[in-house]
Chains A and B, each alone.
Chain A
Amino acid sequence: DGGITQSPKYLFRKEGQNVTLSCEQNLNHDAMYWYRQDPGQGLRLIYYSQIVNDFQKGDIAEGYSVSREKKESFPLTVTSAQKNPTAFYLCASSHTGELFFGEGSRLTVL
């Protein structure tokens, strides 16, 4: 079945460590997105990519990095520079304006 796969679903990290969240889609969508979700704050855009080998910062890009080497993949790295990384991270893709979401990855910093 077509869809978006995020892994891992749950991740624990010690302070000072980088961690990479995986996002893979088989919908043949050009655009992909990473959102961060915190309680009571809705979803905030971290990075997005409209085409392979190109990506743009969203509203809260500091402390995060991404790559888009393949159309199907858009991994997100949460670096040690991100001061408050504990959150629920959602990956999405789109073709005609409608976003399709993965199941999310919950990152907890210990």
Chain B
Amino acid sequence: AQSVTQLGSHVSVSEGALVLLRCNYSSSVPPYLFWYVQYPNQGLQLLLKYTTGATLVKGINGFEAEFKKSETSFHLTKPSAHMSDAAEYFCAVSDGRSSYKLIFGSGTRLLVRP
């Protein structure tokens, strides 16, 4: 069975500081991995995804994530936080083959201090 763990329900950073949101997964097959962002009372928007190939994935709004198989991790980073980055972030995993069901983590709310 697949599962996703996001460490830290809330992360607070100063504007301009590094953003690091942690995600670890469990999967019996090579996973497809995703990061989504959600603003209040809205749906989820895809930030980036890893399916195959290059393990460092670049997404929208300056975010990137690195797939590390040995650590079963897919942490999300951004070099310099902006106030507009304040939102909730979800990591998700699927096997991408037998079905496209995504299993989501519980989410991390990013707070950006001025």
Interface positions of A (Cβ within 8 A of B): 4, 6, 31, 33, 35, 40-45, 48, 50, 58, 88, 90, 92, 94, 96-104, 106
A40, A48, A98: which contacts B46 (Cβ < 8 A)? A98
- The answer to whether B106 touches A42, judged by C-beta atoms less than 8 angstroms apart, is yes
Shortest beta-carbon distance, A88 to chain B, in Å? Answer: 8
B42, B51, B101, B104: which contacts A103 (Cβ < 8 A)? B42
Interface residues of B in 21-48 (CB under 8 A from A): 32, 34, 36, 41-46
Which of B43, B49, B99, B104 gathers the greatest number of chain A CB atoms within 10 Å?
B43
For residue A88, which residues in chain B have a CB less than 8 angstroms away from its CB? Answer: 41
- The answer to whether B100 touches A42, judged by C-beta atoms less than 8 angstroms apart, is no
In the complex, what residue of chain B is closest to A30 when comparing beta carbons? B100
In this assembly, does B9 line the interface, its C-beta being within 8 Å of a C-beta of chain A? yes
In the complex, what residue of chain B is closest to A91 when comparing beta carbons? B43
Shortest beta-carbon distance, A26 to chain B, in Å? Answer: 16
8 extra interface residue pairs, beta carbon distance < 8 Å, beyond A40-B107, A101-B43, A104-B43: A6-B43, A31-B100, A33-B101, A43-B104, A50-B100, A98-B34, A99-B36, A99-B44
For residue A41, which residues in chain B have a CB less than 8 angstroms away from its CB? Answer: 106
B44, B94, B99: which contacts A90 (Cβ < 8 A)? B44
- The answer to whether A101 touches B45, judged by C-beta atoms less than 8 angstroms apart, is yes
Which of A31, A42, A90 gathers the greatest number of chain B CB atoms within 10 Å?
A42
In the complex the two chains form, what is the Cα distance from A106 to B43 in whole Å?
11
A-B contact pairs, 28 of them (CB 8 A): A4-B43, A35-B104, A40-B107, A41-B106, A42-B90, A42-B106, A42-B107, A43-B90, A45-B101, A45-B102, A48-B101, A88-B41, A92-B43, A92-B44, A94-B100, A96-B100, A97-B32, A97-B96, A97-B100, A98-B34, A98-B46, A99-B46, A99-B100, A101-B36, A102-B43, A103-B42, A104-B41, A106-B41
For residue B104, which residues in chain A have a CB less than 8 angstroms away from its CB? Answer: 35, 42-44
In the complex the two chains form, what is the Cα distance from A104 to B9 in whole Å?
22
Shortest beta-carbon distance, A98 to chain B, in Å? Answer: 6
In the complex the two chains form, what is the Cα distance from A96 to B34 in whole Å?
13
